[in-house]
């Protein structure tokens, strides 16, 4: 079994359609994959159809935008009831926050000497319901201002750069509770990547496990080096939570991140399935 539990499609900021993504997963020898677009389940039906035809097991997932003390935290959710009204409404707010910041981003970039309109960005978004900075990056590439998403982030879109605008995110604890209400299991994505270790300390993680029944942490991720992985795995073991591994594949948006570059151990996936059942949900959707 080769298991990759974190991938993005064109339904958010990835560059493969859900069915292309499943075909690539199959080619890469994955037997289980989760589609975890940002703040939407929109790609799941198409991915499910493709997965059925290719004997890939598709886990329905989503990567929710949450925050802890004004710091962005990504929360992976697996096996939720995708029709749960509370979760559906929250994800709508999150997507509105994504679209709502575009005028300010375009204004700031324009004032910084890169004329850009919301229409320019929407051309890159296509019919994705979940607009992200990578789409703004694509618009900057299309204008010839930069040559890659990476350069766009480094120069213009990262938090300290002139094009950055903060957007709405749901409180992390509330997000975990909401995932559980919808029957799913909650796993913090790349918890110790990009400066997050200062916010998601061992003590904070312990409190999330004790007070909110956090189900797992993503350990094997490209934002974690070998040392971080070892320390985080030790913390996760002592807290008794699931440890996952995944690519966080975005297609050509992050060209060096291949599907299956990191994987989840089968026994950890079984433990995750058990957590989903405990919360009342299921990973095997029809
Ligand atoms: P947003 O969701 O609008 O806050 O944008 C953040 C998303 O951009 C993350 O989920 C990443 O997938 C992506 N991202 C962050 N940094 C980079 C980068 N340097 N190159 C490409 N994509 C990035
Ligand atoms: Zn993304
Ligand atoms: Fe993320
Ligand atoms: Fe992601």
Can you tell me the mean pLDDT for 269-275? Answer: 98
Which ligand has its closest atom nearest to the C-alpha of 100?
Answer: 1
Residue ranges of alpha helices (H) inside the chain are 18-27, 44-54, 85-100, 102-111, 118-125, 133-142, 149-152, 172-181, 202-212, 226-239, 266-279
Protein residue with least CA distance to atom 19, ligand 1: 150
Task: Collect residues with CB below 5 Å from ion ligand 4.
Answer: 63, 248
pLDDT reading at 251 higher than 80: yes
> Contact 14/42 with Cβ under 8 angstroms?
no
pLDDT band at 193 (very low <50, low <70, confident <90, very high): very high
pLDDT at 255 over 90: no
Whether residue 132 has pLDDT greater than 90? yes
Residue 180 Cβ contacting ligand 1 at under 6 Å: no
Cα–Cα distance measured from residue 248 to residue 254, given in angstroms and rounded to the nearest whole number: 9
In the structure, what pLDDT confidence band is assigned to residue 25 with cuts at 50, 70 and 90? very high
Which of helix, strand or coil describes residue 65?
Answer: strand
DSSP string, 95-124: HHHHHHTHHHHHHHHHHTT----HHHHHHH
Pocket flag, ligand 1, residue 101 (CB < 6 Å): no
Query: What is the per-residue pLDDT across 45-77, written as a single tens digit (0 to 9) for each?
Result: 999 999 999 989 999 999 999 999 999 999 999
Q: Is the CB of 38 under 6 A from ligand 1?
A: yes
Q: Tell which atom from ligand 1 comes closest to the C-alpha of 158.
A: 16
| DSSP calls for 176-188 | HHHHHHTT-EEEE
What average pLDDT is seen over the chain? 97
Give the mean model confidence (pLDDT) for residues 25-38: 97
Question: pLDDT confidence of 194, banded at 50, 70, 90?
Answer: confident
Mean pLDDT of all residues in 104-116: 98
CA gap 13, 65 in Å, rounded? 13
Asked if residue 286 has pLDDT above 80, the reply is no
Give the SS3 label for residue 38: strand
pLDDT of residue 243: 98
The answer to whether the CB of 250 is under 6 A from ligand 1 is yes
Residue 211 pLDDT class (50, 70, 90 cuts): very high
Average pLDDT over residues 216-220: 98
What pLDDT sits at residue 120? 98
113 Cα–ligand 4 center, Å? 30
Residue 254, ligand 1, Cβ within 6 A: yes
Per-residue pLDDT, 176: 98
Q: For residue 72, which atom of ligand 1 is closest to its CA? A: 4
Whether residue 150 has its Cβ less than 6 Å from ligand 1 = yes
Does 266 score more than 80 pLDDT? yes
Cβ(193) – ligand 1 distance below 6 Å:
no
CB 150 within 8 A of CB 51: no
CA of 14 to the centre of ligand 4 (A): 9
SS3 218: strand
* Ligand 4 geometric centre to CA of 249 (Å): 7
């Amino acid at each position: 079994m080769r298991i990759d539990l974190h991938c993005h499609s064109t339904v958010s900021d990835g560059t493969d359609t859900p069915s292309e993504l499943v075909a690539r997963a199959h080619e890469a020898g994955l037997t289980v994959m989760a589609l975890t677009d940002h703040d939407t389940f929109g790609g799941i039906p198409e991915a499910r159809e493709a997965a059925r035809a290719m004997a890939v097991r598709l886990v329905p997932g989503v990567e929710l935008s949450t925050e802890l003390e004004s710091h962005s935290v990504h929360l992976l959710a697996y096996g939720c009831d995708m029709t749960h009204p509370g979760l559906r409404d929250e994800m709508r707010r999150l997507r509105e926050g994504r679209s709502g910041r575009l005028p300010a981003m375009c204004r700031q970039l324009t004032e910084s000497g890169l004329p850009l309109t919301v229409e320019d960005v929407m051309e890159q978004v296509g019919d994705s319901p979940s607009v992200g900075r990578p789409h703004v990056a694509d618009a900057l590439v299309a204008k010839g201002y930069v040559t890659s998403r990476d350069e766009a982030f480094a120069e213009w879109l990262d938090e300290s750069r002139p094009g950055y605008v903060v957007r709405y995110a749901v409180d992390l604890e509330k997000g975990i509770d909401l995932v559980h209400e919808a029957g799913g299991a909650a796993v913090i994505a790349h918890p110790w990547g990009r400066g997050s270790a200062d916010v998601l300390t061992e003590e904070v993680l312990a409190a999330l496990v004790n007070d909110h029944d956090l189900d797992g942490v993503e350990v094997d991720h490209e934002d974690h080096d070998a040392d971080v992985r070892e320390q985080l795995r030790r913390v996760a073991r002592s807290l008794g939570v699931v440890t996952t591994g995944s690519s966080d594949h975005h297609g050509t948006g992050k060209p060096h991140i291949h599907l299956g570059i990191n994987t989840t151990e089968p026994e950890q996936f079984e433990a995750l399935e058990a957590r989903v059942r405990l919360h009342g949900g299921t990973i095997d959707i029809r």
